[in-house]
Amino acid sequence: MPEQSPVQPGLAALTRPLDSLSGRHVLVTGGSRGIGRACAEAALAAGARVVIAGRDADRLGGVEAELREEYGDAVTASPVDVGDAVAVAGLVRLAVGVLGRLDGVVHAAGVAGPVGPSVEQSPEAWWEAVRVNLLGTFLVVREAARSMAPGGRMVALSGGGATGPFPNFSAYGASKAAVVRLVETLAYEWAGVIEINALAPGFVATDMHQATLAAGDAAGPEYLARTRRELASGGVPAELAGRASVFLLSDRAAGITGRLLAAPWDEWWLWPERRLDIAASDLYTLRRIVPADRGER
């Protein structure tokens, strides 16, 4: 019998109305491709004005032109290396100058990093992935927080390896797990002022998976097979992450902070009904499990 894909309840969000971001001003990094572009398009469709940023200036300009055909001057693009503190500061200044203020941030920029057994990976390549994925997240949300008024909301993209081991992708997995802990930490630091959450998009068919295919057996036979299978099926639509990011930026998510939302697996559109329960618990967080948690001594 053919292998059946597990049911992903979060996909039901694709048929639900998009939450409103009317009158909001949003910065989206990694906005020139894949998940970042989907988040930018969802924010625009929800009524926001958006600045998109990415490293590839030519590609970014092309995406800006395409989006302006539908959304006019509601979208502006600016190239940036998110791992460069000076460049990030300049990006936030530009965003505030263009938009007038900053209400929300979606940080989607990231790289796959080196693929293969950790003992064979270049330390320089490993650290570069951490620089972009983790330091880049820190620099963007830190700089944005300095320019945001109280009530601002941020979303940082997490990913594979954040909630479990990710063999042969140690730089990516470690950096994305660290992003989740950074989000939880900042949620405490910014309590009552700015709310921030992490978003796991699921297996979206993006350019990053070409690194897995190029690595071949070095990616691990099981994950390589899964990648080929997911890409053949189309994977999780990037639109789902876009819709989830809009929810997290919207008024409906007010009071929800320091959480990890898994777009394909969580019925996150019901979170507002559970707002108080979520806030008073460790639901949707990363925690150490001890024997007592499993009814053991």
Round to the nearest angstrom and report the end-to-end CA distance of the chain: 42
Question: Which residues are catalytic, by number?
Answer: 172
Task: Provide the phi-psi class of 278: left if phi over 0, else alpha when psi is between -120 and 50, else beta.
Answer: alpha
* Residue 207 confidence (pLDDT): 77
Lowest mean pLDDT among 3-12, 240-249, 278-287: 3-12
Query: Is residue 97 over pLDDT 90?
Result: yes
* Residue 159 confidence (pLDDT): 85
Averaged pLDDT for residues 101-118: 96
- DSSP annotation string for 210-233: HHHHHHGGGG-HHHHHHHHHHHHH
What is the CB neighbour count within 10 angstroms for residue 84? 15
Domains in the chain (CATH in brackets) are 19-286 (3.40.50.720)
Tell me: the pLDDT tens digits for 163-194? 999 999 999 999 999 999 999 999 999 999 99
Averaged pLDDT for residues 233-240: 92
